[in-house]
Amino acid sequence: MNSSTRSAGRTLWVAVRAMAVFTLLCGLGYTLVVTGIGQLVFPGQANGSLVTDSDGEVVGSTLIGQGFVDENGDPLPEYFQSRPSAAGDGWDGASSSGTNLGPENEDLVAAIEQLRQEIAEFDGVSVEDVPADAVTSSASGLDPDISPEYAAIQVDRIAAARGLSVAEVEDLVAAHTDGRDLGYLGEPTVNVLELNLALDELKG
């Protein structure tokens, strides 16, 4: 065996050992370390931010929106309603997407106007009081939050449907309104799933 062959063999052996070491370090070691830190420091987020009801049953995630509708797809009057969803048939976690329609698309404009009328009638408010997030889907179609303005126009309807006072429902909305991140980033939001679960824990 000449020197060039031996040199090539050593180079190959070094490369194989380096690949094995870095595969263990980066592919296995790094993954285990990051997963361990996530489970230790942020266990809820690391496990999907799952939400359970009073019986301990998993009912969703704080990160993924869902519809509060009956078997026919009609909104349930006793629950706060989420933003519209263009993900699959609606709030489909396996088909996250927006409408892909531009703001001047005639079909989109017509759908928004129709939905605005339906929401105004459903919540007993004027069309002008229906906020933008009530009639437009997010880019993912799975936004779990609504604006405090959208929550506010639903209060009277929910209070009547559940036999609660308006003040009780307003207090619940206020308690579940999250402010801007770091005090100045983004807008205040209300997590619909958490708010509806809190509603179920009230009498009525």
Q: At what angle do helices 192-201 and 166-175 cross, to 10 degrees?
A: 130
- Supply the Cα-derived Rg of the chain in whole angstroms: 25
User: pLDDT tens track of the chain, all 204 residues?
Assistant: 566 777 777 888 888 888 888 898 888 888 888 888 877 776 766 666 777 877 778 878 888 999 999 988 899 999 999 999 988 888 888 888 888 888 889 999 999 999 999 999 999 999 999 999 999 999 888 999 999 999 999 999 999 999 999 999 999 999 999 988 888 888 999 999 999 999 998 865
- What pLDDT, on the 0 to 100 scale, is given for residue 46? 66
Nearest to 7 by CA among 17, 22, 15: 15
List all residues 6 or more positions away from 36 whose beta carbon is below 8 Å from its beta carbon. none
- What pLDDT, on the 0 to 100 scale, is given for residue 204? 58
**146 φ, ψ (degrees, to nearest 5):** -125, 170
Q: What's the CA gap between 189 and 144, in Å, rounded?
A: 9
Burial 153-183 (b: 16+ CB within 10 A, else e): bbbebbbeebebeeebbeebbeebbeeeeee
